[in-house]
Structure 1
């Protein structure tokens, strides 16, 4: 009789895992894309959020359209071009966009931690940073799409209304495209911040509160009337958006450049992405 030895189950599992092909990054992107769109809330959030944002802006533009006949020549002249641009994307619209985008970003991470699915994900794909990098790419693409829908729809609708008073702007006007780009890109910046906070905190309520404070509450509590506070103010995404929405220069206590505002956007996005990708390396799961 010939005896054959059977390797232990654990060894067999390790052998099988070692022989299996490693997941390509494109496969991770596909998996994260499916995860994102398998949630019905994703499509509904984008649809309802876009309608709400466009609605905020249309209401403001129509209000100015209605009041236009009662305005004097000076007030009408002051309206163009900055206030006409702000009608296309109001503070309330930005607030709504950042809240929606940051929630999408944070839930893409916190959702898996709360269900325990993240353990399965990291077991199947031990390269944690690659998994999180795929999440960053997918969330950035989806949130940018949200920004495009919200900003594009708002600009088209509001300027169509204002054109009835010959007060509308067009894409060819100076400064309009960069201003619109700042509205679009506010969404992925907020989404990446939400992801970074979610990766560090891993609790839904605390993540939402912290993201909201960083993106919106802190700018409300910081003034640019003094140099020290202006320095802080000029490092915040909300303030960068407000600067980029100035189609024409206007007086300020401590003026700063559009290049500086774009740099703020870039730094927040890059730092948030780095935290999301590499913070998981030092966590227990």
Structure 2
């Protein structure tokens, strides 16, 4: 772009794009309150699960006793809520600009569209990752306090404990990327949220694993992959059980696919 003196303005650095995306995300008035209330809701649901476990406690065979407290710290309703809430944040990050025309203005100011979208992906992922880490840390602390004396303690450096906490923390940025990708492709708020609700709540309880095809579809869902990663023991009696490497691969696929959709589809469209 030329200035009055005829000189060319320097191209924006990627750090500037990151700062701009950070400002645009947090300038949405609902985002700070929604993120805070979502974290409190997730921690509260997990704490209630720990309270119920303490009230109905009974000794179980290892390794359930050793990892029982951690398993109670990340309940399935809270996980589904985190997936949906962070998916909503990711969707809002792109839909708010598409519906208001701000994205068109951004592309006029910065013609490097793919770099702009890469900055948006990184900012949304970083915000959701911090959300996931803090939510997991608060849930573990509350769970340990509520279940104190009921379960055998286990350090977070333990392999199974590390897998459970890591999978639960990664679920938040995974949901944000899924929401960002769906919002970029669908470009409609209601349809995007309905799709997120199907992924987080409806499909995981609607598809069984009794046949090979249905088991494949079930294992390919992000929520079911998270649930497999949080199980401390192997699945023995299912006809088509999922595996730990397969669950991590599902996580990786659901993270990579939305990011690629955002980088490849949004810059090619007229906004």
Fold shared by both chains (TM-score > 0.5):
yes
What residue is the counterpart of 2:125 in the other structure? 140
1:22 and 2:7 correspond: no
What residue is the counterpart of 1:259 in the other structure? 245
What residue is the counterpart of 1:179 in the other structure? 164
- Residues 54 and 154 of structure 1 are in contact (CA less than 8 Å); yes or no, is this contact kept in structure 2? yes
Q: In structure 1, what is the Cα distance between the partners aligned to 2:133 and 2:269? A: 35
What residue is the counterpart of 1:64 in the other structure? 53
1:190 and 2:179 correspond: no
- Residues 82 and 245 of structure 1 are in contact (CA less than 8 Å); yes or no, is this contact kept in structure 2? no
Aligned-residue CA RMSD in angstroms? 2.0
Would you tell me which structure has more helix in proportion to its own residues?
Answer: 1
What residue is the counterpart of 1:208 in the other structure? 193
Offset of residue 122 of structure 1 = 0.8
> What secondary structure sits across from 2:255 in the alignment?
helix
Q: In structure 2, what is the Cα distance between the partners aligned to 1:64 and 1:15? A: 66
- For these two proteins, the number of residue pairs brought into alignment is 268
Q: In structure 1, what is the Cα distance between the partners aligned to 2:226 and 2:171? A: 7
What residue is the counterpart of 2:257 in the other structure? 271
Offset of residue 266 of structure 1 = 0.6
- Residues 147 and 185 of structure 1 are in contact (CA less than 8 Å); yes or no, is this contact kept in structure 2? yes
What residue is the counterpart of 1:36 in the other structure? 25
- Residues 91 and 192 of structure 2 are in contact (CA less than 8 Å); yes or no, is this contact kept in structure 1? yes
Residues 169 and 137 of structure 1: CA distance in aligned 2, closer, same or farther (over 3 Å): same
- Residues 46 and 73 of structure 2 are in contact (CA less than 8 Å); yes or no, is this contact kept in structure 1? yes
**1:85-117 deviation digits (Å, cap 9, x = unpaired):** 331110110111111100000000000111111
Matches within 5 A, 1:98-177: 98-177=83-162
Q: In structure 2, what is the Cα distance between the partners aligned to 1:267 and 1:250? A: 23
Structure number with greater Rg is: 1
Structure 2, unaligned stretches of length 5 or more?
none
**1:127-155 deviation digits (Å, cap 9, x = unpaired):** 11111110000000000111111111111
**What TM-score, normalized to structure 2?**
0.91
